Each structure stands twice: as C-alpha cells, then as structure tokens.
Amino acid sequence: DGGITQSPKYLFRKEGQNVTLSCEQNLNHDAMYWYRQDPGQGLRLIYYSQIVNDFQKGDIAEGYSVSREKKESFPLTVTSAQKNPTAFYLCASSKGQGTRPQHFGDGTRLSIL
Amino acid sequence: GQNIDQPTEMTATEGAIVQINCTYQTSGFNGLFWYQQHAGEAPTFLSYNVLDGLEEKGRFSSFLSRSKGYSYLLLKELQMKDSASYLCAVREGTDKLIFGTGTRLQVFP
C-alpha cells in the first residue's frame, strides 16, 4: 500500500543536540511538507518542497533545516537553535496544485530530556 | 493577516447531527479542506470545497460561502468513533495550507 512513513514515532533530544526526523513517501507525490502541532494550536508549517532539490521556509522555520535530495524523502533536522522543540511533528505530501489534498504520516513526537 | 476560527470544543449525542463552523480571513483563497484527527494520530482528509455550496459525502457534508468567508462541516448519524478533532484549512495560492486550531468533538452515548 502506498503511504507516508515517519520515523521514529517517539524521539528524545538532549540539550544542544541536533536530531533528524525521517519522512518517506511512495505515493509519487511532488510536494512534501513539515508541520509542527502543539496542544491547543493548529498545524504550523515549518518547511515545504514542491520539487527535488528545492524547498521554501514556512511560518516557523527558525531552528529547523531540511533537504530534498530524492522525490521520496524529506528529512527534517531539529537543531539546537530550536529552543522549544517539544511537539508533535507531522509530514505530509500532495500531488501538487489543484484540488488534491495533502496526505499525512503518523507523526513523530519529540520531547526534551 | 491570516485568521481561521473554529470553536474549541463541542459535544453531541450518538445518532444526532452536529455542525462545526469555520470562519476565515486570508490574503488568498484557493479552496478549503476539512480533516479529521484522532488523538495522537495523523489527520485524514474529509472534504474539499472551492465553489460556494454544499458537498455531500455519506454522513459528512461540507458547505462553503466565499463571500462570507465561512464554511461548516455537518456530521449526521453521529457514532462514537466520530469523537475526534476536526481541522479546517484554507489553501492560499497554489499549495500552502493555513490550518485553524481545530474543534474537538466528543460524542456521548
């Protein structure tokens, strides 16, 4: 079955440490997205990519970095510059423009040790 | 600025009908999506509206009025499994989605 796979499901970060969240899709989707979800808040866009080797900052990109070397993969690195990284991180993909919805992975819950 | 408003919480009884409202003010509009999200899980797509009017899909319907910046999601014949958060999202431009904070619906027997 086609879908979006995020790993790990739970992740713990120590102070000063960078961590990378994985997102892989086999839906042949062009666009991929990273969102952050905090309790009582909506999904906020961190970064998105519409084609390989290109990506744009979303609304809360500070303290995060991404790469898009392959169509299927869009990893997110939470750097030590992100001072409040505890959140639920969701990766999504879509075929692109028009009516097509974004499809989401099952998420990674990141906590600080 | 961008603003999408939804009620924070709603409750309803099994078998009843519930309407979840969403109002939006965005710099652009290229469609409105509704997603369902169970606690700790991924959002799943429910419906899409880009023209005014009602879209029906089984027990779920979604309505849009672009002139009023208003949409609602109507859930009929409520079931216990419908207890979840319902997210309203507006597409600005070609691809970016702006999400509301979500409405947490609790269905009681």
Would you call A110 exposed, middle or buried from its count of C-beta atoms within 10 A (0-12, 13-18, 19+)?
Answer: buried
Q: What's the pLDDT score for residue A31?
A: 92
A12 φ, ψ (degrees, to nearest 5): -120, 140
Residue stretches of chain A with pLDDT short of 70: 1, 96-99
A43 contacts B43? CB cut-off 8 A: yes
Closest CA of chain B from A10, distance in Å: 11
Q: What's the pLDDT score for residue A98?
A: 60
Residue A7: partners with Cβ closer than 8 Å, 6 or more residues away: A21, A22, A108
Facing B95 at nearest CB: one of A35, A43, A97: A97
A 27-86 residues inside an 8 A Cβ radius of B: 31, 35, 40-45, 48, 50, 58
Q: What's the pLDDT score for residue B85?
A: 96
Q: B7-37: per-residue pLDDT in tens?
A: 999 999 999 999 999 999 988 899 999 999 9
Map residue B82 onto helix, strand or coil.
helix
Average the pLDDT over B43-55 and give the result: 95
Closest CA of chain B from A3, distance in Å: 12
Q: What's the pLDDT score for residue B2?
A: 77
Q: What's the pLDDT score for residue B84?
A: 97
* Residues on chain A touching B95 (C-beta within 8 angstroms): 31, 48, 50, 94, 96-97
Mean pLDDT of chain A: 91
pLDDT surpassing 70 at residue B1: no
Tell me the percentage of chain B whose pLDDT exceeds 70.
99
Q: What's the pLDDT score for residue A39?
A: 85
* Sign of the dihedral through C-alpha A2, A95, B32, A77: positive
pLDDT surpassing 90 at residue B100: yes
pLDDT surpassing 80 at residue B103: yes
pLDDT surpassing 90 at residue B96: no
pLDDT surpassing 90 at residue B64: yes
- The DSSP string of B37-81 is E-TTS--EEEEEE-SSEEEEETTEEEEEETTTTEEEEEE-S--GG
